[in-house]
Structure 1
Amino acid sequence: MEWLKSAAASAVSRGPAFGYSFGDRVDLDDSIWALHNGTKKDDGSKCSIFAFDINANKSRLPLAKNALRKWRTLRHPGVVRVLDTLETDTNIYIATERVVPLGWHVKRNALNTETIKWGLYTISTTMRFVNEDASSIHGNLRVSSIYTTESGEWKLAGFEVLSSLKEEDPAIYTYGGLLPDSTRYAAPEIGRGGWDGLKNQAIHVTDSWNMGTLIYEIFNGYFSTADQLSQIKSIPPPMGTPYKRLTQTNPKMRLPISHFLEQGKRSNGFFDTPLIRCCEFIENMGVKDDREREEFLQNLEDTKDQFPEEFFKAKVLPELLKSVEYGGGGPKVFSVVLMIAEKLNEDEWESTITPCVVRLFSSPDRAIRVFLLDNLPRMIEHLPKKVVSDSIFPQLVTGFSDVAPIVREQTVKSILIIIDKLSDRQINGDLLKYLAKTQNDEQPGIRTNTTICLGKIAKNLGQHTRAKVLAAAFTRSLRDPFVHARNAALMALAATADCFDETDCATKCLPAICVGLIDKEKIIRVQAQKTMDVFLARIKTLTANMPDSALPPVDANGVPTGTSAAAGGGGVAGGAPRMGTPQNDASWAGWAISSFTKKLGSVTGEIQAQGTTATSGVSTPAGEESGTLGVPSSTTGNTGSRPGSSSLQRQAFGGMNTNTSRGGGGGGGLMADDGGDDDLDAWGDMDDTPKTVEEKKNTTISGFGRTTMTTTEDDVISSFAANKGKSSLPKGLGKKTTTSTTTTTPASNSTGTGAVKSRPIVSRAVKPAAKKVLPAAATTTAAKKKTEEEGDAWGNDNWDVDWK
């Protein structure tokens, strides 16, 4: 075989240029030709090459030359299509479409009855053309003269003795006997009178006989004598009677092939089959109306298993694709295309279906777009990632803005199918912008599907984008009036809980989920509880390894480890904080009280009276009544004394920048509890924003008394020092008043532990800060407005920004 290839190539190289390359040889029986698979040099397309070696078969050279001449001029759909020919002194080459000998299939018994009927119908149609339209005798109709194309169609060749009766010297009369195995296939009249005897016979007689032998061999196999042809055997009964007339020994009684064809095409005839009707419709599909096209497609779907795969791939599929794109076939035709495409391999898909799909996505036809979106699951595995991201996605996203709700909804659903074939830039950029719009769509179903879509593509989002977008989108959906949208948001939150850190879980997600616990719909309340449990478990997991406290550890004296003892000043070593935070106390109230008493036990030195008498274990300056720290006020019923600036006082109040007064009550420098309710304003505004030093100095807080004053630490110390040693209150402070006046006399030095040095005092008038009380209605309205503003913030914070 290699020798033959080299010989053929050498012969071609010596002769005119031949634009085809030889491949493997295909064995042929009863033929003068050597068949090779070939390729076209220009584009690599497949072809077949019939080669005749002149030197090896000089006696049959007239047959090869006649076949070459007739093959060039004969044009019919049922004839093997010629691409190019080449004739040299040593060889004759005929390049044709890629074909396979029919004998291969017959020997392997690989043909079913419907396929055989379809093939015989095609050959009968071609032979009618040869006999009647071309007024010619084929003379070599047999299995070895028929080939099958890649579409499974049967095509006629073997034109070695094809002769027109209009010619002066028809080749069949002279060279008919040169055909391989001519005696076995010759009609009875030829055996009796030779090939010249055909001059007195009808034009169809020899071809009708050979049509009968062809039918016998296809259904029953090889025959050796003409006597065997009388037995029908496996030939279908409806074809039995016409077959017998084809094989009549009397040529005048022999049935013409055209009549055989007409009998088969009758209603319920042996050629009235779905496959044959399909072939005829496909060839004329462009001129059929919508009703006929719809009926044909329905029949095609019902009988798809009866057709050869090759026929569907190479014959039906191209015609259907043309109908979809240019013939107005629409979705119904394309559904059949996808049915056929299921049997294609990846290369066939990419070369045949993919270009059509890309073009259809650019079509403005909504019906086509919806059909494509519905059937994306059947196509996505065959579409390369580059094709989806570069060609399909830019066209697909136009559906997000379509005026038809069904297009928008199907577009949202399709994202789940193509998400794995999009780039990160497309997912975190363009796609999120479009989904932000559909989450505000007027159709509740589209809003719900957008939420579901976001939940399912969460793993495809970027790490930075994921938490911000999901938290904003899901919390927005939790406020949706459509119950299924809220339920989808809760389910999506539960499914994507791993995407949030502990801060987002506690500050963004849980507050929004809590609203669902009191939803009017039970389905939302149940799902909200489930989602709440998921996030609580998530937070528990994230905080399991957190330290018990962020405060630094302290030693036995309450000094933070690593802090210098001289850093605190005052009477307590190290200036330790007023209260500690023991780690082992079980009760939150217990640790506060025990910590405070522990501090009292750790203070060194004694509380010394300064010219006063002790009462109730607490000392006060002589002649001074207890009252507001640093600003004496009149009291009744309590004459106890306290130190002017003791170390205990410096410990307990050294860190405070504010002053409190309690009118009418007794007590000492430590705030005495009269059994009344604490003022909640003492906790401040509960504002998390840290205050500056100046703000701390000018903070206004309400004390336990009836008066409210604005003061600083310097005011406390200077006022207390200025009144040291006096037996009576300064003028103007003898009665309960809301205004006090201090003098500018420098305070004298005091002795004792923790004495405060004198410093100049700036006189100032302290006005009571009247507590502003809003009317009940105003307060309620303000609170409601704040609540609504805070509620709108969930899901809307930076929503538009996040999608950019």
Structure 2
Amino acid sequence: MDFLKSAVQSAIAKGSSFPYSLGDRVDISDSIWTLHNATKREDSSTCSIFTFDVASNKSRLPLAKNAVRKSRTLRHPGVIKVLDTIETEANIYIVTERVVPLSWHVKRRSLSEETSKWGLYTVASTLKFINGDASSVHGIVRASSVFTSESGEWKLGGFDVLSSMNDDNAVIYTYGSLVPDSARYTPPEVAKGGWEAIKRHPLTAIDSYGLGILVYEVFNGNFTGGEQVGKTTNIPHGMQQSYKRLCTANPKLRLSPAHFVEQGKKSGGFFQTTLIRLTDDIESLGLKNDAERDEFVNELDGLSEDFPEEFFKMKVLPELLKSVEFGGGGPKVLSAILKIGAKLSPDEFNSRLTPVVVRLFGNPDRALRVCLLDNLPVMIDNLPQKIVNDKIFPQITSGFTDAAPVVREQTVKAVLPIINKLSDRVINGDLLKFLARTANDEQPGIRTNTTICLGRIAKNLGQGSRTKVLIAAFTRSLRDPFVHARNAGLLALAATIEFFTEEDCASKVLPAICPSLLDKEKMVRDQANKTLDLYLQRVRKFGNTMADTVIPPSASADPVKDTARIGTSSDKSWAGWAISSFTNKLTAANGEIEPTANGATPAEVEPPRPASVPGPAKPSSPSVQKDILRPAIQPLNRSFSEQPAASPAADEIEEDVYDAWGGMDDDDEDAQEKEDDPFSAAVASPKISAPAPKPAKPAKPAAVPYDDGGEPDFAGWLAAQSKTKKPLPKGLNKTSPAVVSRTSSRSSSTVKPRTVIAPAKKIDTKPKQEEEDDGWGDAWD
């Protein structure tokens, strides 16, 4: 039989004339109706359909027809909303809003006390309307006649015997006993005298008794018979006295639904709950003043998590949206909206809240903007990426330059939740430009938060600009006068070490961290040591993987003697190469240059010299040397000991070391110029002078070779040239004090002791600007 019924219903549902599609059947007890979930074919909206099979319930057909008639005419917020009614020869359909039987929740005991009171208040208020304004009797008030809507509100149904007491032929008098399981819920006076007893007692008596049974079912889960009526098990203490008066045996002493509501609404009454107050005030929220609206929102924030979420989604949220967008609700109402919105599904959020949020970001109210920015982490997961990138972020950018510091600070903080919803072009373009402004903000807290923000979003930055931006921002924060900004810079450097190369760590980051080691604040010093250790460990680890040298080995055609090497492999001292270079000079010369009778040194008489040192040049052309003191560039494979060099004093060497390194205070540009032309700096330096002149000694008959360190006797050669009146090379036509001293020390015994040498003039050793061949290399041919 059930199979045939289902087949018939399915055939009707699929018929072209039936505008609804039947879905799953919903179990409903103690009813002449079969409940189905359904959808409307026209717009796919959800609904519920109560179906009555005429063929199988002909005796109860008057009840079904009465329910259809009363459903069309009875309108109240506490009554199930009827969308359509369809009557055929085989079936009767009542199409309503989507509902669920309350008995489901009652049997599972899933209702909280607050929700139960709120639902009972709604049913009692609806019965008050039916008994008072409509002068009617419901007749079968019980859990099976109450349903919950999609908004979680309790809706009264079951109008099978709903009758007006002004009608003498009301259906309740004749067919009241045909209601399923009526004996269990029948009041004592009806059980004794039949349904005609309603006329002899107060109109509200029968519905008051049913309301009392409903109270018991809601708090205890099940009602088995009349012996449970009046028991206060699990009934809230404040409601017990009123509950007993609802279901007393004497119908004239029963408390009417209207009085039940009145007692519950008294100060301290059982219906004085936050949820009930919100229900009464939500409809008039747009008409409330600021004080009343703030009180409403404060109560809304005080609700616990066990309240019906559906009610807030379907009823409270739309009214709050109207208030904040058109009624000036302000940040408090917005906070309540976002709190409810956190419980919405992504689809519900996009359909109900996203359009409003986009419009609110364009609102010039700063308090509203700060509230939106502060709640971005709550709603960002439900906002589509395209909406955030194209519509919300362009409106957020005005906050970076807002005159109010609190707006700028909240805007910087809002970058973190939305960074994953922004495109690479926006991040590496507009966002970095605005963060560069806030990094130099006059407020130290905003500068600090910008540094923290950059450290958190480092992984989202483009590889082309990430290193440059992070190093520039973090190293600048290390010089910030605000202590927390400096500490934030060190923390950010420690957190982003993976984004820097080893070269950047050694050349840019470590030098910037070092001054923080002596910061005036201990907090900064401690963090600087921790960050420095991280970078040093990385640099050292990378250094251990590098090759020992990058200089390729070279095979010299003319091997250098062991005595002329710069240090040895067995010499482990740090100054070993310097010592060996000085000692090698003493052994490099094997003879002394002998002057001729007229004081000149003939070209054919050459002093012993190492094979690698070129001989003196013979001037063969008018082009002479331009700068005699400028040394020629030697091959790289020549040992330092083979190059002619004077032995400067110790203090002069120390001064020259600082000049060679450019000094600690030199500008970068000066240091670069010295690197570009190190030789010109060496020539122009006046700090290294020739050794002090020694007094001349009487010459001996046999000339003893003088160890001059392999250096040509420039002074003697110049003196000989002056006597023979040969043309001197350009730039050397005047002698210097150094020449006089070296001539007196190295001349042979044939030089006259009373020879007067003209006063020496300072030789201009500065390099000439014009590019001329100085002929310096010709002297060594």
TM-score norm. by structure 1 comes to: 0.73
Residue number in structure 2 paired with 1:617: 591
CA distance in 2: counterparts of 1:67 and 1:652, whole angstroms: 132
Amino acid in the other structure paired with 1:650? P
2:340 and 2:448 map into 1 onto residues whose CA distance is 35
TM-superposed deviation, 1:620: 5.5
1:256 and 2:256 aligned: yes
- The Cα offsets for residues 511-530 of structure 1, whole Å up to 9 and x where unpaired, read as 33344455555554554454
Distance 1:657 1:497 in 2: 54
Instruction: Report the secondary structure of 1:32's partner residue.
Output: coil
Whichever residue aligns with residue 577 of structure 2, its letter is W
Contact 1:487/1:527 (8 A) holds in 2: yes
SS in 2 for 1:728: helix
Contact map agreement 1:621 1:642 (CA 8 A) in 2: no
Assess, with a 3 A threshold, how the Cα gap between structure 1 residues 133 and 727 changes in structure 2: closer, same or farther.
closer
Match of 2:628 among 659, 672, 694: 659
CA deviation after TM superposition for structure 1 residue 153, in Å: 1.9
Separation in 2, partners of 1:672, 1:227:
126
2:572 aligned to 565, 586, 590, which one? 586
**2:614 is matched with which residue?**
650
Deviation of 1:691 after TM superposition, in Å, equals: 9.4
Is the CA contact 2:346–2:382 (under 8 Å) kept in the aligned structure 1? yes
> Residues 587 and 278 of structure 1: is their aligned pair in 2 closer, same or farther, counting only changes over 3 Å?
same
Q: Is the 8 A contact 1:620 1:644 kept in 2?
A: no
Distance 1:168 1:450, change over 3 A: same
Structure 2 letter corresponding to 1:30: D
**Per-residue CA distance 1:731-779 (angstroms, 9 max, x = gap):** 6879x98758xxxxxxxxxxxxxxxxxxxxxxxxx9943779xxxxxxx
- Residue 124 of structure 2 is matched in structure 1 by 124
Q: Which residue of the partner structure matches residue 270 of structure 1?
A: 270
2:8 maps to what in 1?
Answer: 7
Q: Does 1:673 align with 2:647?
A: yes
1:730 paired to 2:725? yes
Identify if the C-alpha distance between structure 1 residues 100 and 545 changes in structure 2 by more than 3 Å, giving closer, same or farther. Answer: same
SS state at 1:83 partner: strand
Whether contact under 8 Å (1:385, 1:421) holds in the other structure is yes
Mapped contact 2:721–2:728 kept (Cα < 8 A): no
Specify the alignment match of 2:543 in structure 1: 543
> After alignment, is 490-499 or 259-268 more displaced?
490-499
Q: Distance in 1 between matches of 2:82 and 2:583?
A: 112
Q: Which amino acid aligns with 1:670?
A: P
Q: 1:225 to 1:422 in 2, by over 3 A?
A: closer
Instruction: Could you tell me which runs of 5 or more consecutive residues in structure 1 were left unpaired when the two chains were aligned.
Output: 560-564, 566-571, 608-615, 633-639, 663-667, 708-715, 741-765, 773-804
Q: Is the 8 A contact 2:648 2:689 kept in 1?
A: no
Kept in 2: contact 1:623–1:728 (CA 8 A): no
**Counterpart amino acid of residue 410 in structure 1:** Q
Deviation per CA, 1:311-338: give whole Å up to 9, x if none: 4444444443443333333332333444
Q: CA deviation at 1:83?
A: 2.5
CA contact (8 A) 1:658 1:699 kept: no
Q: 1:45–1:730: structure 2 CA closer, same or farther, 3 Å change rule?
A: farther
What amino acid sits opposite 2:725 in the alignment? P
Alignment-derived partner of residue 785 in structure 1: none
> Does structure 1 conserve the Cα–Cα contact (< 8 Å) formed by 2:49 and 2:94?
yes
Please tell me whether the aligned partners of residues 657 and 696 of structure 1 are also in contact (alpha carbons under 8 angstroms). Answer: no
Q: Closer, same or farther in 2 for the Cα pair 1:582/1:345, shift >3 Å?
A: farther
Aligned equivalent of 1:82: 82
Q: 1:507 to 1:159 in 2, by over 3 A?
A: same
Alignment of 1:71-470 (within 5 A): 71-166=71-166, 169-196=169-196, 198-199=198-199, 202-219=202-219, 226=226, 228-229=228-229, 231-236=231-236, 238-304=238-304, 307-341=307-341, 352=352, 354=354, 356-383=356-383, 385-470=385-470
* Cα pair 1:478 1:485 within 8 Å, conserved: yes
In the superposition, relative to structure 1, how do residues 154 and 698 fare at CA in structure 2: closer, same or farther (>3 Å)?
Answer: closer
Aligned length, in residue pairs: 691
Cα displacement (A) at 1:162: 2.2
**Would the alpha carbon gap of residues 265 and 506 (structure 1) be closer, same or farther in structure 2, given more than 3 Å must change?**
closer
Structure 2 equivalent of residue 797 of structure 1 = none
| Distance in 1 between residues matched to 2:280 and 2:261, nearest whole Å | 14
Structure 2: gaps (5+ residues): 619-624, 632-641, 663-669, 692-710, 736-760, 768-781
What SS does the aligned partner of 2:48 have?
Answer: strand
Query: CA 1:72 to 1:738, structure 2 compared with 1: closer, same or farther past 3 Å?
Result: farther
Cα distance in 1 between the residues matched to 2:256 and 2:439? 73
Q: Structure 1 residues 504, 236: closer, same or farther in 2, change over 3 A?
A: closer
Residue 764 of structure 2 corresponds to which residue in structure 1? 769
More moved, 129-138 vs 339-348: 339-348
Structure 2: distance between partners of 1:594 and 1:378: 74
Partner of 1:784: none
Q: Is the 8 A contact 2:683 2:765 kept in 1?
A: no
Q: Output one character per residue of 1:117-165: Cα deviation in whole Å (capped at 9) or x when no partner.
A: 2222111111121122223222232222111123332101111222334
Q: Please tell me whether the aligned partners of residues 622 and 727 of structure 1 are also in contact (alpha carbons under 8 angstroms).
A: no
Which digits, 9 at most, give the CA deviation of each residue in 1:48-79, with x for residues without a partner? 22111222222222222221222122221101
Q: What SS does structure 2 have at the residue aligned with 1:650?
A: coil
Name the CA shift for 1:468/1:225 in 2 (closer, same or farther; >3 Å): closer
Distance change >3 Å, CA 769–CA 475, structure 1 → 2: farther
CA–CA distance in 2 between the matches of 1:771 and 1:323? 86
8 Å contact kept, 2:674–2:681: no
For 2:764, the aligned partner's letter is A
Q: 1:85 to 1:487 in 2, by over 3 A?
A: same
**Residue 711 of structure 1: aligned partner:** none
Deviation at 1:448, TM superposition (A): 1.9
Structure 1 residues 327 and 581, CA gap change in structure 2 (3 angstroms): farther
**C-alpha distance in structure 2 between counterparts of 1:81 and 1:477, whole Å:** 65
1:328-373 per-residue CA deviation (whole Å, 9 max, x = no partner) reads 3333233344444555555555555555544433333222222233
The SS at the match of 2:31 is coil
Alpha-carbon separation, structure 1, partners of 2:721 and 2:305? 117
Q: Residues 473 and 698 of structure 1: is their aligned pair in 2 closer, same or farther, counting only changes over 3 Å?
A: closer
| CA–CA separation in structure 2 for the residues paired with 1:729 and 1:669 | 30
Other-structure match for 2:706: none
Contact 2:102 2:143 in 1 (8 A): yes
The CA distance in 2 between the partners of 1:486 and 1:224, in whole Å, is 75
Residues 584/509 of structure 1: CA separation in 2 closer, same or farther (3 Å cut): farther
Instruction: Give 1:795's aligned residue.
Output: none
Distance 1:276 1:649, change over 3 A: same
Change beyond 3 A, Cα 1:340–1:724: same
Letter in 1 for 2:85: T
Q: Residue 499 in 1 paired to residue 494 in 2?
A: no
1:311–1:545: structure 2 CA closer, same or farther, 3 Å change rule?
Answer: same
Shift of 1:12: 3.3
**8 Å Cα contact 1:64-1:160 kept in structure 2:** yes
Q: Which amino acid aligns with 2:403?
A: V
Deviation of the 1:544 alpha carbon: 1.9
Which SS does the other structure have where 2:258 is aligned? helix
Question: Secondary structure of 1:52's match?
Answer: strand
Normalised by the length of structure 2, the TM-score is 0.75
Query: Cα 1:10–1:445, aligned 2, differ >3 Å: closer, same or farther?
Result: same
* Residue of structure 2 equivalent to 1:776: none
Q: Structure 2: how far apart are the matches of 1:534 and 1:643?
A: 61
How far off is 1:14 after superposition?
Answer: 4.0
Do the aligned residues in 2 keep the contact of 1:467 with 1:500 (CA within 8 Å)?
yes
2:483 aligned with 1:483: yes
User: Offset of 1:278 from its aligned partner?
Assistant: 2.6
Task: Find the aligned partners of 1:689 and 1:651 in 2 and give their Cα distance.
Answer: 34
CA change 1:2–1:374 in 2 (3 A) is farther
Instruction: Using the TM superposition, give the Cα deviation of residue 439 of structure 1 relative to its aligned residue in structure 2, in angstroms.
Output: 0.8
Deviations 1:564-604 (A, max 9, x none): x5xxxxxx589xxx977866643454335647988999x9x
> Which amino acid in 2 is paired with 1:122?
T
1:248 Cα deviation from its structure 2 partner: 4.8
